[in-house]
């Protein structure tokens, strides 16, 4: 929802935090606090000051199981209607702030990926499982790409100073020819099959949901196709379990 209803109003991000729900005393700003990002870190994963996260797209969350990180990887597309230089910037944040669940509405200082995305990204990780020695994949559509082709970038996170830093593979990769979307992307890793999966609502006639899979993110193959899809797919994924749920909607 927008902070205000003026032409430059940005959309805030709500969280659902089950640990701070207090029975019937459940107000929107308590049970569903706004997601905040740290502007500066005062000590290890502790905020010095923060500000709200704004986005007009879905937030992507993955679990980085590398020994140096063991933390959530959060990716989003920034919304800033008042500054074209910051609008659509794609950011990453590794980990959460604080030692108690009640403080987990804040994330460490964002890391700019170097890309602008026109859709909500997907992110998924598997320690040493991406390319030659990376851990995570982020999938997006570059804002300048008029064909809206799906791209990926590889990265790994490591402890640095008071939070985590990220190393990206130089450049980007395309998952295939004519694999295009104008909708948010779902990306996950499945332990049972040992594959990464990408699901998109393709920018082509019919718009049936398409799923692609890859062993390590370097080469993707068509996996399956589901009936006509009305919205962008999303995924509920568990790194340490075998149940993965792909969520989509179709018109009856």
- Which has the higher per-residue pLDDT, 102 or 171? 171
What per-residue confidence (pLDDT) applies to 65?
Answer: 78
Average pLDDT over residues 118-140: 95
What per-residue confidence (pLDDT) applies to 175?
Answer: 95
- pLDDT reading at 95 higher than 50: yes
pLDDT digits (tens, 9 = 90+) for 15-53: 655 554 444 445 544 555 788 899 999 999 888 888 999
- Which has the higher per-residue pLDDT, 161 or 31? 161
Confidence class for position 171, pLDDT limits 50, 70, 90: very high
pLDDT digits (tens, 9 = 90+) for 146-158: 999 999 999 999 9
- The average confidence (pLDDT) of the chain is 84
The least confident of 55-59, 141-145, 198-202, 236-240 is 236-240
- Which has the higher per-residue pLDDT, 36 or 3? 36
Q: Give the distance from CA 250 to its chain's centroid.
A: 23
Rounded CA separation 250/252 (Å): 6
Look up residue 126 and give its two tokens: 């598997």
- Which has the higher per-residue pLDDT, 57 or 5? 57
Domain locations in the chain as residue ranges: 57-247
What per-residue confidence (pLDDT) applies to 173?
Answer: 96
- pLDDT reading at 177 higher than 70: yes
Question: Which distant-in-sequence residues (6+ apart) come within 8 Å of 222 by Cβ?
Answer: 210, 211, 212
- pLDDT reading at 236 higher than 90: no
- pLDDT reading at 5 higher than 60: no
pLDDT digits (tens, 9 = 90+) for 98-124: 655 556 678 899 999 999 999 999 999
- pLDDT reading at 86 higher than 60: yes
CA angle 40, 45, 47 (to 5 degrees): 35
- Which has the higher per-residue pLDDT, 96 or 242? 96
Average pLDDT over residues 123-132: 93
What per-residue confidence (pLDDT) applies to 123?
Answer: 96
pTM value is 0.87
């Amino acid at each position: 929802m927008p902070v205000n209803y003026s032409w430059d109003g940005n959309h805030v991000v709500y969280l659902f935090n089950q640990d701070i729900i207090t029975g019937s005393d459940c107000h929107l700003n308590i049970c569903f606090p706004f997601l905040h990002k740290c502007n500066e870190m005062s000590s290890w994963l502790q905020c010095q000051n923060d500000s709200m996260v704004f986005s007009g797209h879905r937030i992507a969350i993955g679990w980085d199981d590398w020994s140096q990180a063991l933390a959530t990887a959060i990716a989003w597309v920034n919304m800033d209607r008042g500054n074209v230089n910051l609008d659509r910037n794609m950011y990453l944040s590794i980990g959460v702030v604080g030692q108690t669940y009640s403080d987990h509405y804040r994330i460490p200082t964002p890391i700019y990926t170097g890309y602008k995305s026109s859709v909500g990204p997907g992110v998924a990780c598997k320690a040493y499982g991406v390319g030659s020695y990376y851990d995570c994949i982020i999938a997006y559509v570059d804002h300048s790409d008029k064909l809206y082709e799906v791209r990926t970038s590889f990265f790994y996170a490591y402890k640095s100073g008071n939070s985590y830093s990220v190393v990206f593979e130089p450049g980007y990769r395309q998952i295939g020819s004519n694999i295009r979307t104008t909708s948010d992307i779902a990306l996950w890793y499945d332990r049972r099959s040992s594959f990464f999966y990408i699901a998109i609502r393709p920018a082509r006639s019919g718009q049936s949901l398409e799923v692609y899979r890859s062993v390590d993110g370097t080469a993707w193959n068509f996996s399956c196709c589901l009936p006509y899809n009305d919205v962008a797919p999303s995924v509920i994924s568990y790194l340490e379990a075998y149940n993965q749920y792909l969520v989509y909607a179709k018109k009856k």
